[in-house]
Structure 1
Amino acid sequence: MDPMRIFLALLTLLLVSGCATSPPSNPENLCEIFREKRDWYDAATDMNDKWGVPIQVPMAMMYQESSFRHDAAPPRKYLLGFIPWGRVSSAYGYSQAKTPTWSDYIRETGSSGADREDFYDAIDFMGWFITKTHKINGISKWDAYGQYLNYHEGWGGYKRGTYKSKKWLMTTSRKVANRASKYSSQYKSCKDELDSSWLYRLFFG
């Protein structure tokens, strides 16, 4: 391969990694997210290939959970009203995965080096969870509304209908579903462009 092409490729990878932890500048547009963060698109398509989960569903759920912040965490608890005393939940990272569920994911997939602050691992985790939700509770992988209810309440909680007494959660789940629908339409308009990007052409053009 031409040395200049190798240099440009390495420079691109360095630039991408340098901004990998910052949220996308336009999170409302899936095309813009992936144009800005090419490695995220690679991770999302790998997740889709591996789990058969449509990209727009975990992306809409992740937007709701963390606003695409790698170090997102729940609010702190306070002892006596002013002494920091841990977090209200063990949820953490892009996907806001709770520690026990993340441990299950690592054990079942053999992903021993997975990190909740790594986008690739986070979206793969969500693909795994959405697939298990489909197997356990029969929720379509394309059903962002039902998938988010399971994600929030857990498989057992969803079976027991715990969400039915939480109008705010059902409202939030509808918001996630609407965003997934919007993301889906946006993705259809730019998928060919993303799949034939200049970086792809650099190596295979």
Structure 2
Amino acid sequence: MFIKNIKSLKFDLSLLITSICFAFIVLTLQTNFAAGKTKAKLEDICWIFQHQPNWKRSAYKASNRWKIPVNILMATIYQESRFRSNVKAKTSSAYGFAQAVDSIWAQYKKSRHIPHANRRNFNDSIDFIGWYFDKVIKRYKVSPHNTQQLYLYYQLGLYHRHAPVSSKKIASKVAHLATQYRKQLDQC
């Protein structure tokens, strides 16, 4: 009887392990599908603005203030945080929608006289990106439509001299998304 119980226990344990593995595989497939679906939606600026009308107002407000096209501001946020407010960098103090580091964020708050600006606030973050791009444009005479150059300075800092190939590839992706967003904005 004892041996029979052990065999039954082994069978039950085997069934349990198989069930757990199956559930894990199903969950993984669902998660990957959801992630792909979300990515596609976040690459659709019309969908974003339809579901986040306050973001649309903030984006156009920042665009008008800093004379930077909405599509470039939004492509930058996509690249930096995928529109997530609580993202924190592992190797720096970069945080929030704009992934702004502490020192530059402090400069922004001081120069804009916004002591309570918050990196988790979309309005503050998109205004920060416009402010930063405005600094790049004034200092280096970069066109406000040159997404790739603007993003390189955003990613590497105002004083970078040579951009690594990996940074150029990322900047190229941001420029491609900005172009896609611009075309979508004509349709929505």
**TM-score, normalization: structure 2?**
0.77
Cα shift at 1:142 = 1.1
d(CA) in 1 for partners of 2:134, 2:167 = 21
The percent of aligned pairs where both chains have the same amino acid is 32
Deviations 1:67-124 (A, max 9, x none): 110001112xxxxxxxxxxxx1000000000110001101111111100000000000
Deviations 1:117-175 (A, max 9, x none): 00000000001001111001111111110011000111111xx22x1xx1111111100
The unaligned stretches of length 5 or more in structure 2 are 1-37
Residues 73-112 of structure 1: pairs in structure 2 closer than 5 A? 73-75=88-90, 88-112=91-115
d(CA) in 2 for partners of 1:24, 1:34 = 15
| Superposition misfits of 4+ residues, deviation over 3 angstroms | none
**Does the alignment pair 1:70 with 2:85?**
yes
d(CA) in 1 for partners of 2:40, 2:183 = 19
Partner of 2:165: 167
Q: Return the structure number with greater helix share.
A: 2
Q: Return the structure number with greater strand share.
A: 1
- RMSD of aligned C-alpha atoms? 1.4
Aligned length: 151
**Does the alignment pair 1:40 with 2:43?**
no
Cα shift at 1:24 = 8.7
Partner of 1:201: none
d(CA) in 2 for partners of 1:94, 1:33 = 14
Partner of 2:180: 182
**Does the alignment pair 1:56 with 2:71?**
yes
94 and 24 in structure 1: CA distance in 2 versus 1, 3 angstrom threshold: farther
d(CA) in 2 for partners of 1:134, 1:123 = 16
d(CA) in 1 for partners of 2:153, 2:138 = 12
Cα shift at 1:25 = 7.9
d(CA) in 2 for partners of 1:121, 1:61 = 14
